[in-house]
Structure 1
Amino acid sequence: MNRWFAATTAAALTGLSVIASPAAAAQNCGGPDEPAAIRFAFAQLPFEPLTGAKWDPTPVASNYDPCATLSTILVTVEGATGSSPVQALMFHHGEFVGTGTAKAHGFTSLDADASSDDTVVLTYKTPDESTVRYRWHDDRVVMLDPAPSAE
């Protein structure tokens, strides 16, 4: 009886540790973990065009989820200040699908509360303080609101 209890307890604990592991969760969805997703995206992006600076691999903000229909990781440049350009890296089930805008904007933030499984909401503190929703539609990201104005 004690062997059965020990074996059952060990199996239950093993099952719990696998479920609780972020790496295991990423594998279940097929997408990479966040650091690997950032590395893959950076391999496809040029340096920030205005400054020529490399992108910093430490996220400014993120709702990255390899299981989500659409999620994002906000990154800035190495050695950034508060007004440095921020770019939104977009992911569909953990696969990098491009950036939110062609040009990075300073003072960009993620509205995680307004975002959902298939929608990412970003606020751009441009002269017109725009909130832009991005949604996964069919096979691509669609910008639902007007693009942020130039700074």
Structure 2
Amino acid sequence: MRLALYKGKGRIGNAAIRWWTRSPYGHCELVIDGVAYSSSIMDSGVRAKRIEFDPEHWDFVDLPWASAALVKSTFASTQGDPYGWGDLFWRQVFNRPGDARGQFCSEWCARALGLPNPQQYSPATLGDYCTYRTRTCRTTSTTGAG
């Protein structure tokens, strides 16, 4: 399993997210066996689909510590939920409680990974966390610590 982080130009929503978060990433997906899971503006909410990932437009983080079963279970319980425009606006812009009627991409991915406070993650901060956790996982497995 891996986290895919979109760094392409994309549409206006991607540009706004990159600008607001001051990062190269405007979207994220969790990829399991070639299927991408996320909440997508373009697809109006939570969905799973096959995507041809062009490495020029995407960065990837391996997630050896993550549970594919948890991601699939989260998807099963949220499939078809609307995109979280309210959450994106209230939580990310004003740091206030959202509306719970949907989830934005990084919120959905963080929830599917079992992370606390999933609404606090942007694609960039989720990428940073996952990179750190994967690096830590690899370090402890090679040193025998932990």
Q: What's the TM-score once normalised by structure 1's chain length?
A: 0.27
Structure 1 or 2: more helix by fraction: 2
Indicate the structure (1 or 2) with the bigger Cα radius of gyration.
Answer: 1
